[in-house]
Amino acid sequence: MATASVGAAVDRYPAVIIVLHWTMAGLILATIPIGWRMGDLEPGPLQDTLYHTHRSIGVTVLALAILRIVSRRTLGVPPPHPALAPWQRTLSVAVHHLLYVLFFVVPILGWAGTSAFGAPIIVWGLFELPPILPVDRPLSEILLGAHGLFSQTLAGLVILHVAGALYHALLRRDGVMQRMLFGRTG
Ligand code: HEM
Ligand code: HEM
């Protein structure tokens, strides 16, 4: 299994995966609060911009998730950190798997729900994503409701994940955090 730097004390993730991790983390952490706020605003240019931005970020997350899975398969990832207790290993692998599932489920439900609503999905003002469902308002309500529910699940898992990462970085200081960072190898 390929790992990052040969002979280094830290068994890092490949650079491409580190870049994808932090880019996707930034996008997801931006689009969740936008999603929470945009529906409460008065209809108008600001609300339109937030909807377009939210959808564009979501579509980008979906595209990067595909790239991330391909990178993971071709470059490999380090085995679980040896400092993890068996229950921590099981929990972190389960959370990572669920996060990967939600990287697809959440944007695809948003795409399907927006298609069924009949609104255009214009990605970063560059091109329009084709609808994947015909217009059907009651179905759109169900799909966007599920989109909201799964995005709350995603937010909950991110909190758990970040708490775990900070626990290792600040309290245990066992090198788990370094695996997802660039920097000194020792
Ligand atoms: C929306 C925010 C985030 C998401 C969706 C996310 C997702 C993920 C996923 C899916 C993995 C598994 C990588 C793989 O095996 O392919 C991972 C690993 C990791 N993440 Fe995050 N992450 C987020 C934010 C953060 C933050 C803020 C931190 C630090 C405070 C962090 C620290 C780490 C570390 C250290 C690893 C490697 C864990 C290990 O080696 O076992 N993540 N993250
Ligand atoms: C990782 C990607 C995404 C995340 C984390 C996310 C997150 C969210 C969140 C937190 C909400 C608010 C839900 C609520 O208040 O109940 C929301 C609403 C919404 N999202 Fe997303 N979203 C993503 C991708 C997308 C995509 C790709 C689209 C469409 C192409 C989309 C379309 C919508 C729409 C139309 C709403 C409003 C739903 C309503 O008002 O009922 N989202 N999203």
Ligand 2 center–CA 155 separation, angstroms: 12
**Token pair of 38, please?**
């945009």
CATH class, 15-180 region: mainly alpha
Asked whether the CA dihedral 43, 62, 123, 159 is positive or negative, the reply is positive
Q: Which protein residue's CA is at the shortest distance from atom 13 of ligand 1? A: 96
Ligand 2 atom closest to the Cα of residue 149 is 16
Strands 121-123 and 127-129: antiparallel
Q: Which protein residue's CA is at the shortest distance from atom 8 of ligand 2? A: 35
Nearest-angstrom CA–CA distance, 47 and 121: 14
Ligand 2 center–CA 184 separation, angstroms: 38
Query: What residues are paired with 128 via a beta bridge?
Result: 122
Q: Which protein residue's CA is at the shortest distance from atom 2 of ligand 1? A: 25
The segments of the chain whose pLDDT lies below 50 read 1-8, 186
Which residue type, as a one-letter code, is found at position 82?
P
pLDDT tens per residue across span 14-62: 999 999 999 999 999 999 999 999 999 999 999 999 999 999 999 999 9
Report angle CA 23, 16, 181 to the nearest 5 degrees.
70
Ligand 1 center–CA 99 separation, angstroms: 9
Domain ranges of the chain: 15-180
| Probe target for ligand 2 pocket from 101, 151, 152, 158, with the most ligand atoms within 8 Å of CB | 151
| pLDDT for 3 | 40
Instruction: Give pTM, 2 decimals.
Output: 0.94
Which ligand is closest in space to the CA of residue 104?
2
| pLDDT for 183 | 76
